Amino acid sequence: MEAPRGRTAGWGAPSPQQAGHILPHHGLWSGCASWRVGGGRAGLCAVLWPQQPPPTTGFDTLSIESKKAATVVLMLNSPEEEVLAKACDAIYKFASKGDENKVTLLNLGAVEPLFKLISHEDPIVRKNATMAFGIMASNSDVKKLLRELDVTNSLIARLVPEEDVIIHEFASLCLARMAVEYTSKVQIFEQGGLEPLIRLLSSPDPDVKKNSVECIYRLVQDFQSRAAVRELNVIPPLLELLKSEYPVIQLLALKTLGVISNDKETRIILRENQGLEHLFKILETKEFNDLHVEALAVVANCLEDVDTMQLIQQTGGLKKLLSFAETSTIPDIQKNAAKAISKAAYDSENRKILHEQEVEKCLINLLGTDNDGVKTAVSQAISAMCENLASKDAFGIQGIPQLVQLLSSDNEEVKEAAAMALANLTTANPGNASSVAEAEGIEPLINVLSAKRDGAVANAAIVLTNMATQEPLRLSIQSHGIMNAIGEPLQSTNSQVQSKAVLTVAAFGCDADARTELRNAGGLEPLVKLLHSRNEEVRRNACWAAVVCASDELTAVELCRLGALDILEEINLSMGRRNHFSERALDKLLDNNLSQKYSQMGYLSFSNIITDSFYDYGQVKPGVKLLSLEELSTQELNDRRAVILVNIKPPEVKGKGKKEEEKPKEEEEFQIAPKIQEEVTLEKLPWLPPFDFILLDYIKDASKTILPLATTKEQVVALAQFVAGNMGGPIEKDKLHDFSWELHISEIKFEQKCNVIPIGKIKKGTFYHRALLFKVIADRIGIGCTLVRGEYTRAWNEVKLVDDSPQGITGLLLPPQVYVIDLMYQPGCLMKQGSAEADHYKLI
C-alpha cells in the first residue's frame, strides 16, 4: 500500500500506523510482524521463542531444524501447538517469496491442513495459519482449490471482533482475493460475509480497511450485494474512508461508491449523508488529482437525479464541474465529466438545467481534445443533449463541423459516436442537416456506410435519410453514389443496420435515377430478402421501401422477378405480420406491373393505364411466377393459349449510315416509329417487343373519329362498335360456337412463329380480346374504364356514366353509374352493373 498523504486540514490526524510506523504485535511471539501499510513489508520472524521455560517434567524439548518444505508441511499435522505455529510461520515466509513457492506448497498438500488450522483453538496457530492462507490465495491454482474446499465460511468466522487484528487483516485479504471469482462472490454473500466486512471498514488498522473495502468493491459488482450493502448502511463508513490518509483506501472507497450509486435508492442515501460535499471537496483539492476520475464517476451517477442536479446547481457545483472539465488536461477526467453530462441529460429537467448553464460550449470545447476516449464520450454527451431542442440548435454551427471531421477518424468508436451525434442533431432539424452538407459531410457519411461497427453504419444511414428530406441535398447525396453504397448495409445481419438502410432506400428511391442505380447495383435482391425478416421494424421499413421503389415498371417487374410479390402476398395473409405498408407495397407492385396484376388478380382498375409492353398471359395461380415477355417470345411454338401483346413503342435502331428522318405531324403526336433507311447496318441490340403498326392505326383512327364526340356515353358506344368492327363484328348468341376465333389465333401464331402475338393482328376476337383492345384504346384517348377477367374466355369492361336528369328537373347533378359494355352481341349496348342483363353477359 502507498505511503500516507501529508496531513490536510479537515481530514483528521493520522494514527501511528497511518503515519507509516509499523507497530509490533505482542503476545506469545516476541517479534513477528506482518506486512504493514506504511513502510511496505517489514521484517519477518524466523524463530519462535517461548516466553516461559519448558516444564521440567515430561520429554525434553527437541529442537528440529529443516530447510525442506515437505518436512514443514508434514509438521502441519502435528498435535503440538508450538510445532503448528512454527510450521505455519515458516510456510507464510516461504510463500511470501514468490508464486513458485506457493505452487510448491500446493503440490505438497499444504492447503488442506492449513484450512483446518485457521479454525484452531489456539490463537497463535489460528493467526499464523490465516496469514499463510491469505498470502497463498494470490495464486490462481490455490484459489481454485480454496473454492472446492468451501473455505469462505471459515474465513468469515475469523472476522468477528474478538479475533486479533492480524487475523482480520489476512482473512479479509483472502476473501478479497477470492471475491474476484463469481462463485466465491455468491458464497461470501450467502454466508453473510457483507456485515462483518462493512463493520471492519471502521477498523483502526488501515490494512484491514483496505482489504475489507476491496472485497466489498468486488462483491457489489453483483446487484444482490448492492442492495444488501445499502440495507447494511455502508454509505457512512465509505464516506469516512474518503478521509483516509492512504490513497489506495480512498480510491477503493470511491470505486465502491461508483458501483453502488448506480442504484437510485443508494444515491438518495448518499445525498442525505452529504456525500456530494465529500466528492466536491476531493474535486476541489489538487493534491487529490489521482482521485478525480473516480470521484467524477460517482458524481455522474448522482446527476441522474433531478433533485441532486438542482442541489448542485443551487450550490454552484454544476458551474464548478463544467469549468473543472474544461480546464483539466487529464483525459480521463475530461472523459468522466462528459459521461456525467450524458447520464444527467437522460432526464428532461436535467437537460434544461444543463442548457441554462451553457453546457454546449463546454462540450464543443472538449471535442477539440486530442484523445479518442474524450472525443467518444463528448460525442455521446452531445447525442444525449439533443433531446433538448434549444441545445440541438446551439450545437449546430460550431459542433457539426468538428463532428464531421471525426467521421474520418481511424478509431471506430469515435466514428460511431460522431455518427450518432450527427444523427440526433439532424433529426427533425433541416438547418443542422444543411450544416452537415456545408461542412462537406456527405462523402465521409457515405464512407461510414462501410465502417466496421454496426452503430456507425446505422447512424450514418440515419443522417443521410434526414438530409434527403431536402431535395437539393438529396440530389447532391445521390450524385455521390448513395445507392451503390447502401448495398452493403442492406446485407448486414444486424437488425438496426437493416432497418435504417431500407429507410435510406425509401428516402432516395423517390428519384427515378436513384432507382435505376439501385437496380443496376443489385440492391433490390437484399431488399426483397428483408421483406422476409422476423424483425417487425425491419419488415415494415422494407415494405415501405418496396412501395417507393415500385414506382416504375422496370423496378416493379424486377422486384416481382426476385419474389417480392409472393412474399408480400404471404405477409398479407398473416394477421400478425401484415401491416399497412405491406398492403400498399403489394398494390403498388401490381399497379406498376399490370401484366402480372391482370394475370394474377384478373382486374385492372380505372387508374391502371395500360402502356407499351403489356401482355395478357392468361390467369395464373397465386405463387406462380410470370415469365418475362422475352422469355415467352423465345419459347418454341406450343398449343397453349396465345399471349396477347400491346406495344406501339418504336424500336431504337442504332447503326452506321443512320440519317435524320422527318416525322409527319401525326406520327409525332402518336409517337410513330421513324422510318429508317434500309441501308442501316444494325448493331447487336437487346431484345425488343415487336412493334404493332395496326394498333397504332386503331388509336389514330379512334382519336380522329371518337374523341371529338360530345359526351362520354357517345364515345363509349362508338369505341365499342369500333372494337367489335375490327375483331369480327357482332356475333349472334346462338351462333357463338361457330365463331372460329381459336383457329384464327393459331394461324397468327404459326405465321409469326411465336406464341406472343400483337393484338392488332387479331381480326376474329372473342370476349377477352375485345375487352383488352377496348381498354387499350380507351386509356390512350382518355376514356376511363376497367378490365375484368371472367370464367373461361369471358372478360368485360366497366365505365362510369352520369345519367340524364329526370324529366322536368334541370341542374340536378346525379352520381355516376357503372355500366358493363357489350362488345360481342350488340356492340355499344350499355348494361347497368348488377342488372340481370349484365350478369347474363358475363356468364354466358
Higher per-residue pLDDT: 719 or 70: 719
Q: Residue 411: its pLDDT value, please?
A: 95
Q: Residue 561 corresponds to which cell in the numbers above?
A: 422477378
**Looking at the predicted structure, is the pLDDT value of residue 775 above 70?**
yes
**Looking at the predicted structure, is the pLDDT value of residue 646 above 70?**
yes
* Confidence at 805, pLDDT banded by 50, 70, 90: low
The mean per-residue pLDDT over the stretch 757-786 comes to 96
Between the ranges 232-241, 292-301, 727-736, where is the mean pLDDT highest? 232-241
* Confidence at 289, pLDDT banded by 50, 70, 90: confident
The mean per-residue pLDDT over the stretch 538-542 comes to 96
Q: What is the DSSP letter of 683?
A: P
The mean per-residue pLDDT over the stretch 48-67 comes to 48
Question: How many structural domains compose the chain?
Answer: 2
Distance CA 291, CA 262 (A): 19
Do 643 and 723 belong to one domain? yes
Distance CA 638, CA 624 (A): 19
Distance CA 601, CA 793 (A): 15
**Looking at the predicted structure, is the pLDDT value of residue 647 above 50?**
yes
Do 573 and 642 belong to one domain? no
Largest CA distance in the chain: 149
What lies within 8 Å, CB to CB, of 501 at 6+ separation is: 457, 458, 461, 486, 489, 490, 492
- In percent, the amount of the chain with pLDDT more than 90 equals 59
Task: Look at residue 311 and tell me if it is in a domain.
Answer: no
Q: Residue 627: its pLDDT value, please?
A: 87
Do 530 and 638 belong to one domain? no
Q: Residue 662: its pLDDT value, please?
A: 42
Q: Residue 219 corresponds to which cell in the numbers above?
A: 462483491
Residue 537, domain CATH:
1.25.10.10
Do 581 and 527 belong to one domain? yes
How many Cα atoms within 13 Å fall on the side-chain side of residue 644?
23
Q: Residue 807: its pLDDT value, please?
A: 60
* Confidence at 541, pLDDT banded by 50, 70, 90: very high
Do 583 and 701 belong to one domain? no
* Confidence at 17, pLDDT banded by 50, 70, 90: very low
**Looking at the predicted structure, is the pLDDT value of residue 35 above 60?**
no
The mean per-residue pLDDT over the stretch 793-820 comes to 81
Do 587 and 638 belong to one domain? no
Q: Residue 671: its pLDDT value, please?
A: 45
Task: Look at residue 558 and tell me if it is in a domain.
Answer: yes
**Looking at the predicted structure, is the pLDDT value of residue 720 above 50?**
yes
CA dihedral 559, 565, 571, 572 (to 10 degrees): 130
Indicate the residue type of 268: I
Do 583 and 707 belong to one domain? no
* Confidence at 494, pLDDT banded by 50, 70, 90: very high
Task: Look at residue 328 and tell me if it is in a domain.
Answer: no
Do 636 and 565 belong to one domain? no
How many Cα atoms within 13 Å fall on the side-chain side of residue 527?
38
Inter-residue contact 313 to 300 (CB < 8 Å): no
Do 696 and 773 belong to one domain? yes
Residue 614, strand partner residues:
646
Task: Look at residue 147 and tell me if it is in a domain.
Answer: no
Sequence length of the chain is: 844
Task: Look at residue 214 and tell me if it is in a domain.
Answer: no
Q: What average pLDDT is seen over the chain?
A: 86
Q: Residue 50 corresponds to which cell in the numbers above?
A: 517461548
Q: What is the CA radius of gyration of the chain?
A: 44
Q: Residue 403 corresponds to which cell in the numbers above?
A: 463532428
pTM equals 0.72
Inter-residue contact 516 to 552 (CB < 8 Å): no
Q: What is the strand order of the sheet 643-646 is part of?
A: 614-616, 643-646, 756-758
Q: Residue 574: its pLDDT value, please?
A: 85
Assign 3-class secondary structure to 514-526: HHHHHHHCCCHHH
Q: Residue 430 corresponds to which cell in the numbers above?
A: 433541416
How many Cα atoms within 13 Å fall on the side-chain side of residue 541?
22
Do 832 and 696 belong to one domain? yes
Single out the residue in 592, 615, 640 at which a domain terminates: 592
* Residue 396 host element (H or E): helix 389-406
Do 574 and 721 belong to one domain? no
Between the ranges 60-64, 163-167, 663-667, where is the mean pLDDT highest? 163-167
Task: Look at residue 514 and tell me if it is in a domain.
Answer: yes
**Looking at the predicted structure, is the pLDDT value of residue 407 above 70?**
yes
Cβ burial of 645 (10 Å; 0-12, 13-18, 19+) is buried
What lies within 8 Å, CB to CB, of 760 at 6+ separation is: 692, 693, 694, 695, 696, 697, 698
Q: Which of 341, 330, 340 is nearest to 297 (CA)?
A: 340
Cβ burial of 417 (10 Å; 0-12, 13-18, 19+) is buried
**Looking at the predicted structure, is the pLDDT value of residue 236 above 60?**
yes
**Looking at the predicted structure, is the pLDDT value of residue 40 above 70?**
no
Distance CA 32, CA 378 (A): 54
Higher per-residue pLDDT: 70 or 514: 514
**Looking at the predicted structure, is the pLDDT value of residue 364 above 60?**
yes
Task: Look at residue 665 and tell me if it is in a domain.
Answer: no
Q: Which long-range contacts (CB under 8 A, 24 or more apart) does 802-810 make?
A: none
Give the range among 338-342, 420-424, 685-689, 694-698 with minimum mean pLDDT. Answer: 685-689
Report pLDDT digits (tens) over 588-597.
Answer: 998 988 998 9
Task: Look at residue 612 and tell me if it is in a domain.
Answer: no
Do 711 and 806 belong to one domain? yes
Report pLDDT digits (tens) over 109-141.
Answer: 888 998 899 889 999 999 999 999 889 988 888
The mean per-residue pLDDT over the stretch 737-761 comes to 92
SS3 657: coil
Distance CA 521, CA 516 (A): 8
Q: Which of 492, 561, 565 is nearest to 533 (CA)?
A: 492
Report pLDDT digits (tens) over 444-493.
Answer: 999 999 999 999 999 999 999 999 999 999 999 999 999 999 999 999 99
* Confidence at 176, pLDDT banded by 50, 70, 90: very high
Domain span holding position 814:
629-649+689-843
Higher per-residue pLDDT: 84 or 9: 84
**Looking at the predicted structure, is the pLDDT value of residue 55 above 60?**
no
Q: Residue 653: its pLDDT value, please?
A: 56
